[in-house]
Amino acid sequence: MNDCLAFLEQWTTDPNGVKPTFLHFKELLEKCSGTCLSFKSRPGISYSLRCACPESDRDLFVMVDVVDDDPEDRWLSVCFFDDQVSDPDDLGDWAPEGLAGKDARCFNIEGVDQDMIAYTEARIQEAFTAAKA
């Protein structure tokens, strides 16, 4: 996770205000008992925080991406396996084979939107519960 800390230190431009949301989700995932966090840097594409649950046969249950196609205009895409989350308000984007070759549901956060942050946080909790089952 040293790569994650290094990334956070150099992330100084945040006109959309999504860095605090990324940190919020990171802290939330760190509190999920028994999970393993990893970080993958792909500058110019994304910086991905991935969280796995050892009880699951899948490599992860959520991926929090900082989309880096324009470093001056970063945003978040939080993706789950489609069969592990609900989307009662239909706010997510369905991504066929979008996560480890399986259908995914992704929630984009492009600015400070407390309702979307809370909605996505509920999906994180839901996916964590499903991954432990």
Q: What's the pLDDT tens digit per position in 62-115? A: 999 999 999 999 999 999 999 999 999 999 999 999 999 999 999 999 999 999
Q: How far apart are the C-alpha atoms of 73 and 44, rounded to whole Å?
A: 12
CATH of the domain at 23: 3.90.1150
Q: What is the pLDDT of residue 55?
A: 86
In the chain, DSSP assigns E strands to 36-42, 46-52, 62-67, 75-81, 93-99, 102-109
Categorize the per-residue pLDDT at 1 as very low, low, confident or very high, splitting at 50, 70 and 90: confident
Q: What's the pLDDT tens digit per position in 19-70? A: 999 999 999 999 999 999 999 999 999 999 999 998 898 999 999 999 999 9
CA R_g for the chain: 14
Range of the domain at 103: 2-132
CA 68 to chain centre: 14
The two tokens of residue 35 are: 């999970």
Q: How far apart are the C-alpha atoms of 112 and 100, rounded to whole Å?
A: 29
- How many domains would you assign to the chain? 1
